[in-house]
Amino acid sequence: MHTLQYVAVKLTTEFDGSNADELREEAVSDVDSTLSGDSRPYSDWYDWFVVGGGRFVEGDDYSNSTHSVVLYGENKDEFVAKMDEALGLQLDKVKRLHEQLDKDFDLDHEVSIYERTYNNSAVIEGHSSMTAWGMRRLAGMLNGHWDPDSHFLDITNGLPSPRYLLGEIEKDPSEGKFWALVPVDFHY
């Protein structure tokens, strides 16, 4: 399966109006090098990815590219719109998981099933591993765990939330000139 994620990255050089291509290259390189390799500090849920958007944008599905990278300093409105789109998808997933659990999950029943396993009961009936999976996914998302349904990652601060990025820009608007938003096509 594939998922499009928007990855925000703080660059070392600020946007000055004439260096957009250089900054896009830096953003793609930073994201690629951070997500690659054996350590993969943010997650292990994906097996490969294409920086620049892959199949979700125009161009080669399997080559990194810079043409879809959005620089905050160059186009704040597009940066915010794409970030909001990704965060909207994240919120929709949280709401769907909550609705599913609210409808299908009986915590007392699930705890009693769990309790019976510790009383040497040979037959456990009525346990839904999908319900437990949904609960784990919802708890992970509410706890700030980055996964295929996050659709956004602030790779500089290591969160699927823009709170530090936006706080930094709110405190000092000139900091926006250092941020880029990079679409990444992840396969998992």
- Whether residue 41 has pLDDT greater than 70: no
pLDDT of residue 120: 66
Band (38; pLDDT cuts 50, 70, 90): low
pLDDT in tens, 105-133: 887 877 777 777 776 666 656 556 677 78
Residue type, 128: S
Q: What is the C-alpha to C-alpha distance for residues 23 and 6, in angstroms, rounded to an integer?
A: 16
Check residue 177 and report its DSSP letter.
G
**The pair of three-digit structure tokens given for residue 97, joined into one six-digit string:** 């998981």
pLDDT in tens, 68-96: 999 999 999 999 999 999 999 999 999 99
Q: What is the C-alpha to C-alpha distance for residues 58 and 76, in angstroms, rounded to an integer?
A: 22
Q: What is the C-alpha to C-alpha distance for residues 23 and 127, in angstroms, rounded to an integer?
A: 52
Q: What is the mean pLDDT of residues 56-65?
A: 86
Residue type, 139: A
Q: What is the C-alpha to C-alpha distance for residues 180 and 135, in angstroms, rounded to an integer?
A: 33
H helices, E strands: number in the chain: 5, 5
What interhelical angle do 76-104 and 129-142 show, nearest 10?
Answer: 140
